[in-house]
Amino acid sequence: MNWDDIRVFLQVGRSNSLTAASKQLKMDPSTLGRRVARLEERMGTRLFVKTPQGYDLTESGLRLMEYASEMELSSLSAQEIVQGQTDKLSGTVRIGAPDGSANFLLPEVCAEISAENPELEIQILAVPRVLNLSKREADMAITVSPPSAGRLLVQKVTDYHLHLAATRDYIAAHPDLQRIEQVKDHPIIGYIPDLIFDKELDYLDEIGLRPTVGLASNSVSVQINLINQGAGLGVVHDFAMPNFPNLAFLFKEKLALKRSFYLVRHEGDRRVGRLNRFADRLGQGMRDIVKRKEK
């Protein structure tokens, strides 16, 4: 099995698409399809099954993905040894994250890292689900709860806080909002209950509230924008508040939530210096920005 075959297999497996993989590899999709077919013939097994969503890995494909990823890591490690480790980062790093951190925290951190490392490409993948790092959907992921299974490196990055908020105009127009028990009489904006993919995101349940029908979203960014339009009340990250100067917290001392961000990586990546250095810089940047914005 040669390295070119491994590169093709890895890219198709990670993107679930010949078209997407072809853009990354700068190869024609039909050529990639033939390369995959030849690899499957040589391996004597199906590596992918074609579905309406794209190319999904079979059980054999998943096993090969582990092996191929190890080959890739060995190649990267060897390249660092030969070229010598430098302070500058290069190549591509893909980070998966829930959209709250992906929209209101990571852009600032990653813009700083990018300015320091002009040859580095940072990709932020905002998804309302848990990423599969074993399939290499991303190099690392930000999560709000630590995973309990898999060969993963898990590092707690920082705590952060959330509070109930509404626009200043909404609060001024509703002088009845004097006691916590009156909150339930107002439109409540939150997650669509059956699309909450992590229990730590069920903010409203923890404070005894449910979203109003017609005012829910699987995206926290949409929720905050609904609140910012004066549509009602909802839970907002403290670090997001500077982006919305017309918002104000309600009952801040009594309705406070605390959560944590974790940085999750594949266990095998501990040997890749560039990813270690990037992870350290990302974690420190997140801590600094959360601390500054929560003042």
- Using one digit for the tens of pLDDT, what is the confidence trace for 28-39? 888 888 889 989
- Per residue in 63-101, pLDDT (tens digit) is 888 778 777 766 666 665 555 555 677 778 889 999 899
Q: According to the model, what pLDDT value does residue 84 have?
A: 56
- Domain span at residue 212 reads 160-258
- Per residue in 181-225, pLDDT (tens digit) is 888 889 999 988 888 888 888 888 888 877 776 788 999 999 999
Instruction: Write a three-state SS string for 7-75.
Output: HHHHHHHHHCCHHHHHHHHCCCHHHHHHHHHHHHHHHCCCCEEEECCEEEECHHHHHHHHHHHHHHHHH
At residue 217, the 3 state secondary structure works out as strand
Q: According to the model, what pLDDT value does residue 80 have?
A: 58
Which residue, 258, 274, 289, sits at the end of a domain?
258
- Per residue in 20-29, pLDDT (tens digit) is 888 878 888 8
Does residue 285 sit within a domain? no
Contact 147, 264 (CB under 8 A): yes
Does residue 125 sit within a domain? no
Which residue, 84, 119, 137, sits at the end of a domain?
84
Q: According to the model, what pLDDT value does residue 151 have?
A: 77
Mean pLDDT of 8-19: 85
Does residue 195 sit within a domain? yes
Q: Output the domain CATH number for residue 177.
A: 3.40.190.10
Q: Which amino acid is at 20?
A: A
Mean pLDDT of 133-137: 67
Residue 131, pLDDT above cutoff 80: no
Does residue 193 sit within a domain? yes
Q: According to the model, what pLDDT value does residue 224 have?
A: 96
Does residue 7 sit within a domain? yes
Residue 229, pLDDT above cutoff 90: yes
At residue 202, the 3 state secondary structure works out as coil
Does residue 57 sit within a domain? yes
Estimate the crossing angle of helix 18-25 against helix 29-43, to 10 degrees.
100
Give the percent of the chain with pLDDT over 70.
92
Task: Find all residues with CB under 8 Å of 113, minimum gap 6, and list them.
Answer: 89, 120, 122, 278, 281, 282, 285
Does residue 248 sit within a domain? yes
Q: According to the model, what pLDDT value does residue 78 have?
A: 63
Does residue 273 sit within a domain? no
Number of domains, the chain = 2
Number of residues that make up the chain: 295
Task: Give the DSSP per-residue string, 87-125.
Answer: SS--EEEEEEE-HHHHHHTHHHHHHHHHHH-TTEEEEEE
pTM listed for this prediction? 0.76
Q: Output the domain CATH number for residue 48.
A: 1.10.10.10
